[in-house]
Amino acid sequence: MNLKNKSLKLMFKSTYIGSMEMFRPATRIEIVAAMRRVRYEFKARGISKKKVDLIISIDGIKKHRGVWDESECLVMFHPIYRVFYVSHDSQDLQIFSYIARDGSNNTFKCNVFKCSKKKKDIFHLPLISQASVNR
């Protein structure tokens, strides 16, 4: 799939598990550990998961609160050039995450999501990576 067309967007429903600040990861093991730490921390605290709509494009990753209308309820936006790493959890194929650098204070944030259908996230990960290459 070619993402050079700026109007091309990938939209899908998922469940937002949570986010956590972290130091710049050096290895894949640190990235997977951060993803699992987010899942564990939010589950231990009893924080409920939120249904969201993710929109992935050349511009970046947008998280909307259950509304397909892009003009309303924008919860989070990360420009694609700030997305540092995208991964899925090999133990649970419904879980995927991306790490984005915050421009204001140069910290990294791990954002974790759960897809509504098994293995669906694996098809989205290459698209996010390709979008960051074609920026």
Per residue in 53-68, pLDDT tens? Answer: 887 887 878 777 665 5
Could you tell me which of 23, 12, 21, 29 has the C-alpha nearest to residue 113?
12
Rg of the chain over all Cα atoms, to the nearest angstrom: 14
112 within 8 A of 95, measured Cβ to Cβ: yes
Contact 37, 21 (CB under 8 A): no
What's the CA gap between 78 and 57, in Å, rounded?
A: 11
Q: Which two tokens stand for residue 51?
A: 């249904």
CA 132 to chain centre: 13
Label residue 37 by pLDDT band (50, 70, 90).
very high
pLDDT at residue 3 greater than cutoff 50: no
Domain at 10-133: CATH code: 2.30.29.30
pTM of the model: 0.74
Burial letters 9-45, b for 16+ CB under 10 A, else e: ebebebbbbbbbebeebeeeeebbebbbebbeebeee
Q: From CA 42, how far away is CA 49, in angstroms rounded?
A: 9
Mean pLDDT of 72-98: 80
**Calpha distance 69→123 (Å, rounded):** 23
Report the pLDDT value the prediction gives residue 4, as an integer from 0 to 100: 52
Residue 118 has pLDDT above 60, yes or no: no
Q: Where are the alpha helices (DSSP H) in the chain?
A: 28-44, 120-133
